[in-house]
Structure 1
Amino acid sequence: MTIQRMTAGRPAETTAQPSRDWRLQATWAALFLNVLPFTGDHLLPLPAIVGQLIAQGALPVALVLALLANPRGLVRPNVHVVLFSLLCLLAVMVSLHNPFLVSSTYRALRFSGYVLVLWLLSPFWGRRDLALLRCHRVCLVVVLSSVALGAVISPGKAFAFDGRLAGIIWPVFPTAVAHMAAILAGTSALLWMCRVISGRNAVATIVLAAPVLVATHTRTALLAGAVGLVCASASLLLARSRARRTWIWGGVLSTAVFVVFASELMSWLLRGQTASQASGLTGRTTVWSQVLDHPRSLGQQLFGSGMSNLSFNGSAIDSNWVGTYLDLGLVGAAIQILLLAILLLTALTRPSGPRRAVAIFLIVYCIFASITETGLSGPSAVVLDLAVASALIARPSERPTG
């Protein structure tokens, strides 16, 4: 690979060739498909093994497409992708000593391949046309549209997961659906505040995402999206009158809704659980305690036991930090904290505008959601969210040529 040189003394190009753009979009779509495991009820006439092969095979397809989009193999030095590469190196080294050698090493190598594709896309970081964000939003719209269509075609199957909306045309769990809906709704609101997209575009995407988010009945995505949107829109208050008006009207409406529908909102948040069950995060804290109390050697505490399916004694861990401690130890968790801290601090130093606001939203969302969701220690939608954030706050540079 060749290290791309930064542009000196002149603005970077902002418009890519159409041929290069479709390759970038196709690469991102393949990366997105790779993190949508084919498990659960679905309407496609595909055996589960075929669907899984399609999802897993999307990664080598993404690698080929990335090479087509970046034929000279240019890479742009980027501290965020470097830190992800350190996680990959740690994952491979530790997984070689895992009792489940084949599956653990495969997961580590898949993570490495995923980050390799991000390296090949790194020259597209910093583009003023928000190329990666546009690709990301297109993928979100496609998946959420399929979720909504599935709910119309077969509502019984779509809401079979304890009454929570899931994807059934391509199987997507309610928590993953909620994650995507929150990201699409939040970015649409921010881009509208910055006048990057029209009101019609914003309404169309929010009308798609918001009902889906509510129907998934996922508290983490709703709260993380709200916190991220408040933080991101606050960065626009001084520069954008539309953001200031939105804050005023949002404050008035949210207060009115809370006062009028307080009991209904509390019932929705409790999801039929008792207060003690809700405080225990639906049993998650029990699993976390089991992981943390399990005896481990000093080496395992520091470097982990290798890549796993992020479960313990048959129960999902559902926490990025506990899962990382199990797989990659304290060192892995420290790398992730450093990654998030650098991303957030870098975003805060950028000029006010859509790139900074959307980046802050994505980073804050991922930080908040990481408490009850996994994602930073392997290929996931969270990694894609943070890659988009990194691309938005990167300094402008020349795109790859040739």
Structure 2
Amino acid sequence: MGASHPPRIVAAAWGLLVLNTLGSTGAQTILPLPRSLIQMVTMGALAAAFALALAANLRLHVRASVFLFLLTLLLVPSVISSASLESGWGALFRCARLALFVGTLWLLSRWWDGGLAFVRHHIRMYLAVLATVAAGVLLSPATAFPDLYGGRLVGALWPLTPPQIGQYAAVVVGLTVLLVLGRRTDRASAAVVLVPALVLLALTHTRTATFGLLLGLLLAIGSLVLSSAAARRFFGWTVVCAAVAAVGFGSALQTWFLRGQSQEHFTSLTGRAKVWDALLAAPRTAFEHLFGAGLGDKSFGGLPIDNSWLAVYHEQGVTGVTLVAAVILVLGGVALLRPPSLARACAIFLIGYCAIASYTEAGLGDASPYLLHLAVAASLLAAPGAAASGPVSSPENTRQGVVPRRAHGSEVG
């Protein structure tokens, strides 16, 4: 197999993993899509991703990492708790999905070499998803801004909720900004990505994604300030613009931030706190406390949990919470020990974003976009040139930017 062929397969496999994690429930679409059909597409995408990753890595050369080891260990409490069938046969099905998901990451780890290839794959795949959202707005504005979601932007072609769209847009914006600072893409090309993504993020009125983007970028750019003049300039201008926006557009920002909610509704985190209190107050056996009730749909009492830590506690117990916390701490610790670089900054952004979003979004304990974000971070923190199969030379490793750039540059650090 040629050296340039596997990366193209890897890009396709990554895109299929993204498709698998889009979910099967959400807003009403222009053309009604049966949930069974969507599930067939998403599960078929996961099976195809595994097949492509296996075809690209027939010799099963993998890159061992603590991140993948901990994700594999997470399968243990998942299977133990799901085997009781307290959450039904669907729990075992979700365990099989998680196992296939983690297995695909193991196969793709052969190309985790500290480079930016997976950052580019990530941006392009989520740009494709955002393009479907924008197309839905053009085709049917009424469907894209339904009253059911308070006029917030949803997916009109694929059933995506406002928090999902906000998450994808925030990650695309954050990574693209860092590529610009690292001179891996020119500003004109980046603007084609940034402007639409920021508009879509604003239309979702998603506070979690906005906070995650701002704080994640603050951490990432802060890691570059001492080694990059571009990062220092961007940081300075950001502070100035933030101050001007706070003074000149404070009222408009407050209106956007509150989304028409009452103060009581806002302080209860849009009703999430009531679900969290009920979940924590529910009686549990020692077994459930340790291993959880089995993989489910991240809900309690018919309402979404919307907190990764409580969702993991409910479904995989204290054991699962410990493993997920270890994932975040290990990745964060490794990132802090790496010298300043663009790859490190991108990893810090993704880790920071996932940690911030985990408070009001579920997904860290199951196959989800959040685990894909952390997988990209793990690929960025891998030691350069030490991949199991040796350095892989391909156009993906030398291409500049999200799209072909017009000026040459070098990595920060």
Coarse TM-score class (shorter-chain normalised):
over 0.9
Deviation at 1:101, TM superposition (A): 3.6
Q: Which amino acid aligns with 1:353?
A: S
State whether residues 125 and 394 of structure 1, in contact with CA within 8 Å, keep that contact through their aligned partners in structure 2.
yes
Partner of 2:202: 214
Partner of 1:94: 81
Q: Which runs of 5+ in 2 are unaligned?
A: 393-413
State whether residues 87 and 335 of structure 1, in contact with CA within 8 Å, keep that contact through their aligned partners in structure 2.
yes
1:131-184 C-alpha deviation (Å, 9 max, x unpaired):
211111110110011111111111100011221111111221111100000000
Secondary structure at 2:164 match in 1: helix
In the alignment, structure 1 residue 356 sits paired with structure 2 residue 357: no
Indicate the larger mover: 131-140 or 365-374: 131-140
Q: TM-score, normalised by structure 1?
A: 0.93
State whether residues 62 and 388 of structure 2, in contact with CA within 8 Å, keep that contact through their aligned partners in structure 1.
no
Deviation at 1:55, TM superposition (A): 1.2
Deviation at 1:47, TM superposition (A): 4.0
Deviation at 1:17, TM superposition (A): 2.8
Aligned match for 1:250, one of 231, 238, 254: 238
State whether residues 61 and 388 of structure 2, in contact with CA within 8 Å, keep that contact through their aligned partners in structure 1.
no
Query: Structure 2: how far apart are the matches of 1:343 and 1:233?
Result: 18
Aligned length: 386
Quick one: structure 1 residues 21 and 44, their matched pair in 2 at CA, closer, same or farther if it must change by over 3 Å? farther
Aligned match for 2:362, one of 343, 364, 374: 374
Deviation at 1:348, TM superposition (A): 1.1
Indicate the larger mover: 268-277 or 182-191: 268-277
Partner of 2:333: 345
Q: Which amino acid aligns with 2:20?
A: N
Partner of 2:223: 235
Query: Structure 2: how far apart are the matches of 1:286 and 1:382?
Result: 24
Partner of 2:112: 125
Indicate the larger mover: 46-55 or 244-253: 46-55
Q: Which runs of 5+ in 1 are unaligned?
A: 1-15
Secondary structure at 1:77 match in 2: coil
Identical counterparts, % of pairs: 38
Partner of 1:74: 61
Deviation at 1:100, TM superposition (A): 3.4
Deviation at 1:238, TM superposition (A): 1.0
State whether residues 77 and 317 of structure 2, in contact with CA within 8 Å, keep that contact through their aligned partners in structure 1.
no
Deviation at 1:328, TM superposition (A): 0.7
1:345-364 C-alpha deviation (Å, 9 max, x unpaired):
10111121110000000000
Deviation at 1:49, TM superposition (A): 2.4
Partner of 1:395: 383
Partner of 1:174: 162
In the alignment, structure 1 residue 85 sits paired with structure 2 residue 72: yes
Alignment of 1:6-17 (within 5 A): 17=3
Partner of 1:6: none
Q: TM-score, normalised by structure 2?
A: 0.91
Deviation at 1:98, TM superposition (A): 2.8
Deviation at 1:69, TM superposition (A): 1.5
In the alignment, structure 1 residue 30 sits paired with structure 2 residue 19: no
Partner of 1:10: none
Partner of 1:41: 28
Q: Which amino acid aligns with 1:304?
A: G
Deviation at 1:70, TM superposition (A): 1.1
Query: Structure 2: how far apart are the matches of 1:365 and 1:398?
Result: 27
Partner of 1:276: 264
State whether residues 344 and 380 of structure 2, in contact with CA within 8 Å, keep that contact through their aligned partners in structure 1.
yes
Secondary structure at 1:26 match in 2: helix
Deviation at 1:104, TM superposition (A): 0.8
Partner of 1:329: 317
Quick one: structure 1 residues 399 and 310, their matched pair in 2 at CA, closer, same or farther if it must change by over 3 Å? same
Deviation at 1:38, TM superposition (A): 3.2
Aligned match for 2:102, one of 109, 115, 120: 115
Partner of 1:190: 178
CA-atom RMSD in angstroms: 1.5
Partner of 1:224: 212
